[in-house]
Amino acid sequence: MKEISSLESALGVVFLNKDLLHTALTHRSYVNENPDWRLPHYERLEFLGDAVLELVVTRYLYLNFENPEGDLTSYRAALVNSQMLSAVSSELGVNDFLLLSKGEAKDIGKARMYILANAFEAITGAIYLDQGYDVASGFIERVILSRMQDVLDKKLYRDAKSFFQEKAQEIEGVTPTYKVTREWGPDHDKHFIVGVYLGEELIAEGEGSSKQIAQQSAAENGLDSKGWE
């Protein structure tokens, strides 16, 4: 495994108590498989980090946007959902430092995405405990809040499926339906292609690691196809 200092460099935080960072990287399965491991798993730190992350992001949105509560809630969801957190976690190189059981280490599909997202929250909690609110807030600002413009430009805050349905009913008087057109891969790493239909007409397709994600992708592509942006 790489030296933990390279992860600290990516995080922009040098820990005073390295055990906190190691704990934030320790999955429950590793502790179960290695009963002599001296540190706990990350779930308590994840609980703390989730609250810190939500507070920092909520404060930022409140101070920087005059939108109504509903908009701010959608913006926050786009910034702290599992897909966003796992993507950020991957970019920081967290995957290379996770302590997982042998079985869990082989699973690189959707389950790993959630582990990476949870580890990100745990790391946030560890930074908060080690160096306080200001340093934790600075970390979140660098790696999460810096993506706010991307969220706005790509409309990541929008529930594409709901929006497509509203437009389809308003303009064409039809409620869209979704059908899986292809799927492949083992249970732990499934991929789905889903089509969105208006009546019998296929409007667009989308791909994802779950049917729900593929439906959202299909709806986004459907909006683009119909010019309903």
CATH code: domain of residue 204: 3.30.160.20
Give me 40's structure tokens. 């706990």
CATH code of the domain covering residue 148: 1.10.1520.10
Residue 170: domain span: 160-226
CA distance 116 to 86: 5
What integer pLDDT is reported at residue 48 of this predicted model? 98
Is 147 in the same domain as 174?
Answer: no
Residues 100 and 166 in one domain: no
Q: Are the C-beta atoms of residues 13 and 92 closer than 8 Å to each other?
A: no
What is the C-alpha end-to-end distance of the chain, expressed in Å? 46
Rounded to whole angstroms, what are the CA distances from 71 to 55, 57, 151? 16, 14, 12
Q: What angle do CA 76, 167, 213 make, to 5 degrees?
A: 50
Last residue of one domain, picked from the residues 128, 153, 178: 153
Residue 88 and residue 187 in one domain: no
Residues assigned a catalytic role: 50, 121
Q: Please give the order of strands across the beta sheet that includes 177-184.
A: 177-184, 191-198, 201-208
Tell me the per-residue pLDDT of 111-133, one tens digit each, with 9 for 90 and over. Answer: 888 999 999 999 999 999 999 99
Of the residues 92, 119, 153, which one is the last residue of a structural domain?
A: 153
Task: List, for the chain, all residue ranges whose pLDDT scores fall below the cut of 50.
Answer: none
* pLDDT at residue 190, as a whole number: 85
**Per-residue pLDDT at 1:** 54
For 2, 135, 152, 218, the CA distances from 75, given in Å and listed in that order, are: 35, 23, 8, 21
| Same structural domain, 132 and 174 | no
- If asked whether residues 20 and 127 sit together in one domain, one would say yes
Q: Which of 153, 183, 213 is the last residue of a domain?
A: 153
Number of domains the chain contains: 2
- CA dist 129 and 64 (Å) reads 27
Are 112 and 179 contained in the same domain?
no
89 shares its domain with 34: yes
**Rounded Cα gap, residues 167 and 111, in angstroms:** 34
Are residue 68 and residue 175 in the same domain, yes or no? no
Domain identity same for 83 and 182: no
